[in-house]
Amino acid sequence: MTLINNLVDIGAGGTMTTGLRTGVLFRNPSTHVRSVHAYFPSVVQMPDDRLIVAYTLGEAFESVNLRVHLSESNDLGETWQPLGSPAPLPVNALTSESGRLTVLNDGELLLLLVRHDRSAHPDMGLAEPVNFGFAPMKFCIARSSDQGRTWTTPTNIAPPLDGPAFEMCSPITLLATRRWLLPTSTWRGWDGALHNGNQMCAFISKDAGATWPRCVTVMRDPKDCVRYWESKIHRRPDRSLLAVAWAHDESTGADLANQFSLSFDEGETWSAPASTGLQGQTLTSTVLPDGSVLSAYRRLDRQGLWLNLARIDADRWVNLAEQPLWGHESIVTDTTGTLARRFQTLKFGAPSVTRLGNGQVFVAFWCYEDNVSIIRWFKFDLRA
């Protein structure tokens, strides 16, 4: 009997995980001395089974001194040891950054970085508070061939589309040996300009990331009212691709159900965006061996971070089971005020979902506990 069949009858009152464990991946050890908050984990498993995570440290959610750091685990995430910063910036650089990891088949690590130039507005956040335009940004790639000990100097990516800015919430998706996709979404510049409309798109490289000469549209609203955020692209067992995104309607100021789209030609064309029926943000999924989709996301219709299991029937997303992970008893997501204000008051999110070689699932995310943002993890087996 497949995993899907076993879980069909499990609802919100049941559980779809067994052996649930949790712990802290990173927490500032000296909160009485300095302010250090942790955000945006990205976890991969190496060929030798060790886990490596990239995460962002800084004194506040949108501080100028946000920097990427790495840690590793030799016991499937139970304990973690720091590896330092992969690409240190000057201490006083007015640049903030975040990163996402991908591991190649030969064990080489890729770190996709987004770096924001904060020099023009060092005392403001990442987004202009009225038009929600982004601080100037660039994508870079650094590489490591020794499991994250040393890294190449980051090389800049020349975008094949004028955003003018772009969001970075996803690692690079590997397709063929040298064909890669960089999932992203267009974003307004600081002055409010949006040269190519609201769209989830994907940069395409056919030379293993050396150049990115093409861009394809993955999701776009014909009326150009919907913004597709937190976008991800995943490979399915039948070799097709699944894209997921959080959708926000600018014309009404309301969040829509999370959207998904499918591609059957290596990302060249995509089906029209369709609803997952999930009301939430920061949706991160992983496709299981039987084709079902396990997602972690911050719910908007209920409190907390939740797991969801679904299957895709042709062009329909069918939700099968759900389970709260964290914050469902006390954490409230603010859905009022301007977009800039809502981002400033976030208390948790950006889960990373990793299927481990032993069949377990490892979920890491940032959250505030005791007024400090930490990286917390959960590890579990799916109920069979």
Mind listing the pLDDT tens digit for each residue in 237-259? 999 999 999 999 999 999 999 99
Q: Looking at the domain assignment, is residue 335 inside a domain?
A: no
Note the pLDDT of residue 384: 65
Q: Looking at the domain assignment, is residue 74 inside a domain?
A: no
Specify whether the CB–CB gap between 321 and 309 falls below 8 A: yes
pLDDT in tens, the chain (384 residues): 233 334 444 444 567 999 999 999 999 999 999 999 999 999 999 999 999 999 999 999 999 999 999 999 999 999 999 999 998 888 789 999 999 999 999 999 999 999 999 999 999 999 999 999 999 999 999 999 999 999 999 999 999 999 999 999 999 999 987 999 999 999 999 999 999 999 999 999 999 999 999 999 999 999 999 999 999 999 999 999 999 999 999 999 999 999 999 999 999 999 999 999 999 999 999 999 999 999 999 999 999 999 999 999 999 999 999 999 998 876 444 445 554 444 444 588 999 999 999 999 999 999 999 999 999 999 999 986
Q: Looking at the domain assignment, is residue 215 inside a domain?
A: yes
Q: Looking at the domain assignment, is residue 349 inside a domain?
A: no
Residue 191 class from Cβ within 10 Å (0-12 exposed, 13-18 middle, 19+ buried)? exposed
Residues 6+ apart with CB under 8 A from 71: 25, 26, 52, 53, 55, 80, 81, 82, 83
Note the pLDDT of residue 163: 96
Specify whether the CB–CB gap between 54 and 102 falls below 8 A: no
Q: Which domain holds residue 265?
A: 157-269
How many structural domains comprise the chain?
1
Q: Residue 93's CB: how many other CB atoms inside 10 A? A: 16
Cα(30)–Cα(274) distance, rounded to whole angstroms?
A: 46
Tokens for 310?
A: 């679904």
User: What is the number of residues in the chain?
Assistant: 384
Question: Using one digit for the tens of pLDDT, what is the confidence trace for 322-335?
Answer: 999 998 876 444 44
Q: Looking at the domain assignment, is residue 250 inside a domain?
A: yes
Note the pLDDT of residue 176: 80
Note the pLDDT of residue 2: 37
Q: Looking at the domain assignment, is residue 376 inside a domain?
A: no
Residue 324: strand, helix, or coil: strand
Tokens for 280?
A: 């939430």
Tokens for 172?
A: 């690079």
Q: In what order do the strands lie in the sheet with 137-144?
A: 95-103, 109-117, 137-144, 155-156
Q: Looking at the domain assignment, is residue 229 inside a domain?
A: yes
Tokens for 110?
A: 């890729």
* CA angle in degrees (0–180, nearest 5) for 304-219-283: 15
